[in-house]
Structure 1
Amino acid sequence: MAQLRVHPDRIEVHLTPAEKSLSLRSADIVIQRDDIRSATITDDPWVWIRGIRTRGTELPLVVAVGAWKYHGGLDFVVVKGKRQAVVLELAAGEFARLILSTNHSAALIDRLKLGETPGDAE
């Protein structure tokens, strides 16, 4: 599962080698904290996926990893099974939104609100 690292100025999404392969992406994702407009926890991340897959892999309700294009831009998705996920709406950058399955969604949201310094969430 992708590891999320929260820093004072940015969030890093470190993809596993399998996720990089499935998403057809070689680099991890770095988001500036100033670019985050909102963060939402969802118990059903599948309803948040919009548009069509442009690169990546999808087995509905099992795994979705990669980029999805919709009429307003591009989203990046790492969704696995029925796990809880965090949806980050972004103001600028490569993606308009990130949808990430994580076992620590509440902790991630708390870190984003409090502006805590370095930490990890999986």
Structure 2
Amino acid sequence: MASLRVHSDRLEIHLSSAEKVLSLRRDDIVVPRDDIRSVAITDDPWIWIRGIRAPGAFVPLTLAVGTWKFHGGKDFLVVKNKRQTVIIDIADGEFSRVIVSTPQAVELIGSLKINETDVAAS
């Protein structure tokens, strides 16, 4: 399962070896904090998928890993079953949105808000 690490200037999404193979991607995903527009949590990630898979792996309602292209850009997904999932909207960058299943969704959003407040106060 992908692990998410929040730093003061960026969010890193570290993919497992299997996720890298399934998504045909060599590198982890790094999103600058300034590019994050919004973050939301959902219990039904399947309604958030848009576009077509290119490249990646998809098993309906079970697994979605890889890039999904749509008319306005592309999204990156690491979605497994109906687990709690984080939807991260990105202003600029390689992806328009990153959707990741993670058991630490609430903690992730909390740490993003705390760090934003700390940076603004400095």
TM bucket normalised to smaller: over 0.9
Counterpart in the other structure of 2:114: 114
Supply the AA of the counterpart residue of 2:51: G
Aligned-partner Cα distance in 1 for 2:109–2:46 = 20
Greater relative CO (CA pairs within 8 A, separation 6+): 1
Residues 40-119 of structure 1: matches in 2 within 5 Å?
40-115=40-115
Q: CA deviation at 1:93?
A: 0.4
Which digits, 9 at most, give the CA deviation of each residue in 1:47-68, with x for residues without a partner?
A: 0000000101000111000000
Aligned-partner Cα distance in 2 for 1:37–1:60 = 28
Q: Find out whether 1:19 has 2:19 as its counterpart.
A: yes
Counterpart in the other structure of 2:36: 36
Give unmatched runs, 5+ long, in structure 1.
Answer: 117-122
Aligned-partner Cα distance in 1 for 2:50–2:84 = 17
Q: CA deviation at 1:25?
A: 0.3
TM-score relative to the length of structure 2: 0.94
**Larger helix proportion of the pair:** 2
TM-score relative to the length of structure 1: 0.94
Which digits, 9 at most, give the CA deviation of each residue in 1:7-42, with x for residues without a partner?
A: 000010000000000000010000000000000000
Aligned-partner Cα distance in 2 for 1:43–1:3 = 18
Aligned-partner Cα distance in 1 for 2:53–2:107 = 29
Counterpart in the other structure of 2:120: none
- Does the residue aligned with 2:22 lie in a helix, a strand or coil? helix
Q: CA deviation at 1:110?
A: 0.3
Count of matched residue pairs: 116
Aligned-partner Cα distance in 1 for 2:24–2:60 = 18
Counterpart in the other structure of 1:120: none
Aligned-partner Cα distance in 2 for 1:12–1:99 = 13
User: In angstroms, what is the RMSD of aligned CA positions?
Assistant: 0.8
After TM superposition, the runs of 4+ consecutive aligned structure 1 residues lying more than 3 A away are: none
